[in-house]
């Protein structure tokens, strides 16, 4: 399989996203972005045994001095206490402003290690080495870093762009089926919010993606990153269009928070959240029955939930009121005017939302 590269164009903070097999076995790709010998490899207990040891050995052979920071695995560990463990290691090993953090793992590690880099000594460089489909198509690109708080997901964070993203597609061979399906939620999202041609392609090629066809996965990752890059280039700090990337996330984050982070995977909650957003759009008259059916069908075919769990509407709403997209006390939802036509809506009243969440259709 060939390697494909695209650029996230942000003036002096521009960076490449490289997509292809066996990238973690090529430390030479990282050397231009490592200005001194000291680097930190932040990973978790699941990913590091699979890929971290070879990466660390390769860095040492290239003359670098890697420090291993291995954290527990899971969304429930995306916390301030885990963040403190990263700070402790950076301080013990005398890291400075020219040191580099390598985030090796899925979205949790990328967000947490990125936030550590954004805040250690007021900001040091970091590199994204995403190892899950979800992180390769979404969280590794765009510079959002954060940890969770019991009252809200990703509520404590910063914008901090990586120096390079290496999306090694070979890592997907070890990804559990459940994690692969969760990643497809974010892939489907790009078709729903802005790329109807990509959505058409996904409808035809979903079986190939589920079967882990290399060409199909590489194409899906590239097109997802291309869409994400275009949005980030136009609205890096989420003042406008970038909010559309949160289709399904207001509902999804509430599901994650109420159930307890880690009970449902992020992509599973987003899948159900996108169905809820589509159903609410249909209820408001902005999405046709046929387009709603297409949305429900592809999410269900991806093996993702199409129904929210048995949660009281009031508990969902209480969590949604802490969503970081909200402004002036109004809940801002991402809804749809058709396949590929998402929009922001802050006009749905709490009473209407409560009624919708009780009926769920």
Among 75, 223, 238, 268, the active-site one is 238
44 is catalytic: no
Question: How does strand 126-130 pair with strand 144-149?
Answer: unpaired
Among 228, 282, 324, 332, the active-site one is 228
Among 194, 242, 282, 294, the active-site one is 242
User: C-alpha angle with apex 122: 95 to 149, nearest 5 degrees?
Assistant: 100
Among 253, 282, 294, 324, the active-site one is 253
Side-chain half-sphere exposure of 53, counting CA atoms within 13 A: 4
CB contact burial 144-180 (16+ within 10 A = b; e otherwise)? bbbbbeeebbbeebeebbbbbbbbbbbbbeebeeebb
246 is catalytic: yes
325 is catalytic: no
User: C-alpha angle with apex 101: 147 to 3, nearest 5 degrees?
Assistant: 100
CA torsion 42→45→46→51, rounded to 10°?
Answer: 50
Helix/strand number for the chain, H first, E second: 13, 11
Among 75, 186, 223, 256, the active-site one is 186
Among 38, 153, 249, 282, the active-site one is 249
> Residues 247, 334, 152, 145: is their CA dihedral positive or negative?
positive
**Using CA atoms, how far apart are residues 235 and 230, in angstroms rounded to an integer?**
9
Side-chain half-sphere exposure of 292, counting CA atoms within 13 A: 16
Among 246, 279, 294, 325, the active-site one is 246
CA nearest neighbour of 331 among 360, 307, 312, 357: 357
68 is catalytic: no
Residue in the block written with tokens 């957003």: 277
253 is catalytic: yes
228 is catalytic: yes
93 is catalytic: no
Among 266, 279, 325, 332, the active-site one is 266
Cα distances (Å, whole numbers) of residue 357 to 89, 98, 316, 320, 337: 44, 49, 8, 12, 20
Among 144, 163, 324, 325, the active-site one is 144
**Could you give the residue numbers annotated as active site?**
122, 144, 186, 228, 238, 242, 246, 249, 253, 266
């Amino acid at each position: 399989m060939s390697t494909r590269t695209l650029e996230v164009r942000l003036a002096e903070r521009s960076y490449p996203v490289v997509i292809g097999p066996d990238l973690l076995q090529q430390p030479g790709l990282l050397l231009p972005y490592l200005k001194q010998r000291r680097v930190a490899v932040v990973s978790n207990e699941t990913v590091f045994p699979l890929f971290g040891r070879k990466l660390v050995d390769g860095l040492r052979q290239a003359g670098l001095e890697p420090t291993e920071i291995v954290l527990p695995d899971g969304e429930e560990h995306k916390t301030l206490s885990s963040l403190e463990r990263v700070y402790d290691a950076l301080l013990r090993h005398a890291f400075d402003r020219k040191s580099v953090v390598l985030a090796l793992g899925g979205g949790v590690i990328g967000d947490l290690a990125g936030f550590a880099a954004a805040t250690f000594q007021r900001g040091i460089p970091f590199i994204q080495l995403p190892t899950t489909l979800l992180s390769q198509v979404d969280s590794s690109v765009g510079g959002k870093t954060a940890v969770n708080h019991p009252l809200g997901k990703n509520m404590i964070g910063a914008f901090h762009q990586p120096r390079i993203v290496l999306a090694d597609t070979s890592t997907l061979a070890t990804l559990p089926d459940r994690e692969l399906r969760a990643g497809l939620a974010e892939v489907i999202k790009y078709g729903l919010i802005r790329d109807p041609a990509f959505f058409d392609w996904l409808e035809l090629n979903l079986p190939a993606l589920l079967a882990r066809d290399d060409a199909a996965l590489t194409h899906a990752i590239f097109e997802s990153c291309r869409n994400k890059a275009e949005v980030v280039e136009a609205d890096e700090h989420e003042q406008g269009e970038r909010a559309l990337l949160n289709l399904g996330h207001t509902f999804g984050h509430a599901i994650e928070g109420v159930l307890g982070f880690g009970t449902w995977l992020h992509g599973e909650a987003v899948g159900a959240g996108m169905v809820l957003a589509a159903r609410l759009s249909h209820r408001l008259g902005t999405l046709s029955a046929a387009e709603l059916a297409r949305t429900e069908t592809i999410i269900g075919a991806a093996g993702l939930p199409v129904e929210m769990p048995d949660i009281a509407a009031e508990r969902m709403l209480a969590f949604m009121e802490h969503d970081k997209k909200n402004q002036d006390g109004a809940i801002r939802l991402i809804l749809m005017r058709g396949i590929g036509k998402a929009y922001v809506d802050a006009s749905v009243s709490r009473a209407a939302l409560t009624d919708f969440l009780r009926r769920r259709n």
